[in-house]
Amino acid sequence: MIYNFTLDKYTTEFNTMYEKIGGNYKDFPYKMWKKQSSERQSNGKLYNFYYLKNKYVTLTATEEDESRHIVNVGCGITVKKFNSDENKKSKVMTICGIMAAVAGGYTSDDVNFFGNLFADTISAKDNSFWYENCIYIFEKQEASNGENTILFRTMPAEKNIQSEWNLIDYKEYWFEKK
């Protein structure tokens, strides 16, 4: 599945929401997205991988080349920066919440919910959840230079993926946690 928007539209919506909750839209300008690579997948489609790095995080996006629609979005940071202080961690989780809220068509009222969802992926059994036709994933990547990174990512998926991947429904997890 793919989202029904382009990288340009996503960035505009992201910045609108970011500014609404007190951020500066100039922190994530569309012109700062850089194409990292392209790759043809086994389904024959070409996908383009982008990143936007700023002083807080690195946003990532994968788009389907033909339609230019986004397949997934992510938010990454080095483990060292993430763990450096609680204010930074809170800022990253807010940005992750915005990333997911925009991708799913939610409002700024949902930013904290998605920030908490991503925070829960850190300690979840499989580091991922299913929530309303999207997958939310936490990945930790080890780098040879010691700058290990973490990436919070979301992508739309069809319902059958939830059972195929044995994903925990976040609604159930959240109610069990309470």
Per-position pLDDT tens, the chain of length 178: 889 999 999 999 999 999 999 888 788 999 999 999 999 999 899 999 999 999 889 999 999 999 999 999 999 999 998 988 888 899 999 999 999 999 999 999 999 999 999 999 998 788 999 999 999 999 998 877 778 999 999 999 999 999 999 999 999 888 777 6
CA–CA dist 46, 36 (Å, integer)? 14
Give Cα separations from 87 to 20, 59, 83, 90 (angstroms).
Answer: 19, 19, 10, 5
CB distance 10 to 61 below 8 Å: yes
pTM of the model: 0.92
